[in-house]
Amino acid sequence: MKRSLGPFVSLLSGVLFGVGLVVSGMTSPAKVQGFLDLAGAWDPSLAFVMGAAVLSCGAFSWVARRRGAPVLDASFSVSESRTIDRRLLTGAAVFGVGWGLCGVCPGPSLVSLGTTGLWPLVFVAAMAIGARAETAITLGLGSRTATPETPI
Amino acid sequence: MLSFLPAVVGGALLGGAAGLVYLLRGRVAGIGGIFGGAIATQSVDGREGRAHRLFFLLGLLLAGFGAARVAPSALGSPSTPLLVVAIAGLLVGFGMQRGSGCTSGHGVCGLARFSTRSLVATLTFMATGFATVFVTHHLLGGPR
């Protein structure tokens, strides 16, 4: 019973998340770039989006941590990594450049697939290629030091 | 002040959705991780993890289809040529995979869990985002 609810929760959360992106203005690239344009007519509203999102997500996270385990699944599947390395920094830096170029980040691009426009298809396809390329490069570099028998 | 109301309501909604995923399913609702996991050849956490990601993505699409009918003006388009859109998509995909997160994964879920990694990542992509818009909008005199 508990387990069968899982996919429904995932679907409903996806819908709510998407509606939140639309209501907040994140699906408007012009508005996102307005926030990133400190030297222009700066639009601070996305700071409010982030602040409200962190607070409401934080409230749920706090309850979740106090319970010690999630309600439906057996355990948390969360990275507990604390290392701040070059991968994190260069990845985030490249991400920010792409985000600033068009004012589009992953969530809004996927929501925009619901329109008839061509650009979301182009963006999402490029995003998939970029992500797969990164994985390929990382695995390729790793395999040089690993023994050939090691499964990656 | 009232103009910030949609920002606050929308933010609380998407943060609440991410929080629900964490409380009920113990997973981080970072779009980068969900998308990256969905397009990977192998699922790192079995069939259940894959199903979660596909259902969540389906939910995002449904929201998009709904918004396109109810509030089409809320779904804008970038003012840049498609070639730039493609380049931006490549960089966003590459960066989120390398940095293990995006605006939602680090900027919302990570900060909500007081993750220092996520704070550093968020400050970094904000900084390069600000810098990029400064270059395209002011130095190159791009879209205004």
The minimum CA-CA distance between A17 and chain B, rounded to whole Å, is: 4
Q: Specify the pLDDT at position B3.
A: 76
Chains A, B: CB pairs < 8 Å = 495
Interface test with A, best of B56, B106, B115, B116 (most A CBs within 10 A): B56
Residue B56: pLDDT above 80? Answer: yes
The count of domains in chain A is 1
Q: Specify the pLDDT at position B64.
A: 97
Mean pLDDT (chain B) is: 92
Question: Under the phi-then-psi rule, with left for phi > 0, alpha for psi from -120 to 50, and beta for the rest, what region is B114?
Answer: left
Q: Tell me the C-alpha distance between A93 and A86, whole Å.
A: 10
On whether residue A72 sits in a domain, the answer given is yes
Q: Does A136 touch chain B (CB under 8 A)?
A: no
On whether residue A97 sits in a domain, the answer given is yes
Q: Specify the pLDDT at position B48.
A: 86
* Model confidence pLDDT, tens digit, residues A28-75: 999 999 999 999 989 999 999 999 999 999 999 999 999 999 999 888
Domain membership of residue A95 as a residue range:
2-145
Question: Rounded to two decimals, what is the model's pTM?
Answer: 0.92
CB contact under 8 A, A17 and B29: yes
Residues of A in contact with B38 (CB under 8 A): none
Q: Specify the pLDDT at position A83.
A: 87
More confident: B144 or A41: A41
**How would you label A1-27 residue by residue, b for 16+ Cβ within 10 Å and e otherwise?**
eeeeebbebbbbbbbbbbbbbbbbbbb
* Model confidence pLDDT, tens digit, residues B74-122: 999 999 999 999 999 999 999 999 998 899 999 999 999 899 999 999 9
Residue A145: pLDDT above 70? Answer: no
Q: Specify the pLDDT at position B1.
A: 58
Residues of B in contact with A27 (CB under 8 A): 67, 74-76
Question: Under the phi-then-psi rule, with left for phi > 0, alpha for psi from -120 to 50, and beta for the rest, what region is A79?
Answer: beta
Residue A113: pLDDT above 90? Answer: yes
On whether residue A152 sits in a domain, the answer given is no
User: What's the ipTM?
Assistant: 0.94
